[in-house]
Structure 1
Amino acid sequence: MKIATYNVNGINGRLPVLLQWLSEENPDIVCLQELKAPQEKFPEEAILEAGYHAVWVGQKSWNGVAILTKSEKPTVIRTALPGDETDEQSRYLEVKLNGLTVVCVYVPNGNPVPGEKFDYKLKWLERLDAQAELLISSGKPVIILGDFNIIPTESDVYKPEKYIKDALFLPEVRAAFQSLIDQGWTDALRQIYPEETIYTFYDYFRKAYERNAGMRIDHFLLSPAIAPHLKSGGVHKAVRGWEKTSDHVPVWIELDHF
């Protein structure tokens, strides 16, 4: 089973890119972030024609997450991260499919620092930590994947000294990611490539893609029940070079079961 995550940075504006990538790579499950479309503007018909069922949580202008599946439509468990009933941002979608729990997340960016956006990010990560603890404690196969907006270590970013005051790289944020790992989750890409430089995001400015000046902020976290089934994984870097593409690249893993 091939599972992917892709921050599309506007699903309607980047729809040709998404459809081309789906056609070429044919993943079984895809989590999308930053739809930038209200619920009623999601291109469900085009996604169906491409061979995928879809569930999504839209939001006008910003945010939004979706999960696409080939075999059957997943069962939606949650459309919001528990812990704050006042939170109206569309950043969390949890489903079940063939015995597997899939959680699509779009963690807040948090910039500028200091400020309300950074405070919101830290509180959101606290809620994610609590929910992740519940999920991993179930003993069931669970994958949490998506755009975490976290650079876990210095090896995950080009010239880390430039990001010491950035909300993606501050100690509190990196500690939040490490807290998830300490619960027992496996960082899938690092499990496969413990030493290699892997980037999942390239800014639109200063020819970042051409210079390979990126960062790794899109992640897969695997529960102990599914981590042993990790077979392979990587990034589809070439997609970043396509016309009118996202600033993120699709990231994927393959499981030998499910």
Structure 2
Amino acid sequence: MTTTAAPTATLTPPSRWRSLLRSHAAMPVVLAVVLLATYLWVQSLQLDDIERRSLNADILVRMLAEHLKLTAVTTVIVVIVAVGAGILLTRPALRWLAPAATGLANIGQATPAIGLLVLLSLWLGIGFTTALIGLIAYALLPVLQNTIVGLNQVDRKLIEAGHGIGMSPLAVLTRVELPLAVPVILAGVRTALVLAVGVATLATFIDAGGLGGLIVTGIKLQRTPVLVTGAVLTAALALLLDWLGGVITDLFRPRGLG
């Protein structure tokens, strides 16, 4: 009996690189134009002492680094936990637990973000670790849900074909199921990234830093340049990470599924 080999991710040929660059070229240009326009607008204003201190280059770099650190650490932990849990919950022995696990993960996202962070800070204190736990709880559901959906929608005939040619369950998972589920899983990671960037702005309320400090300062002190700069940087970061997620999704999409 002949079987059809399952499509797997391969090295990206030069033609595919060119196609990726053409299809994803617009967003970086738009973001560069928006950031340049914001910079020129701020430079054209007569800033007072508070605005100059808030928009100091060193402070902006520090806040951006804090925001990126929160987002990056959250995403790494969420991917490890959610993808691992999603794999386990799609195995026959544990599949019955999937609804309960997704329901539990949904609690974090159903809770208002600021309320979740405040409750955690009352329990664990303020700081980076508390903000990180809140962000993980908020970003877990999309990756877990997409991992389960992506693995469950793999054609069962391909899985049976893998077993039929003598592949172990682990080999079937790594060489058949995961490569075919990667686009769906990465879509969940993209959603989690954008959620993490947005919720990380609230980390400033529990002394965890981030770009939210600019937004809060701008609102409290009625300094429009500070508020606009914080909002633009946060939005640009979210859009940039979403763009990177789209590039990576297309890059790792198995050939023939595009």
TM-score (norm 1): 0.24
Q: Which has the higher helix share?
A: 2
Higher Rg of the two aligned structures: 2
Q: Which has the higher contact order (CA 8 A, sep 6+)?
A: 2
* Superposition TM-score, scaled by structure 2 size: 0.24
- Structure with the higher fraction of residues in strand conformation: 1
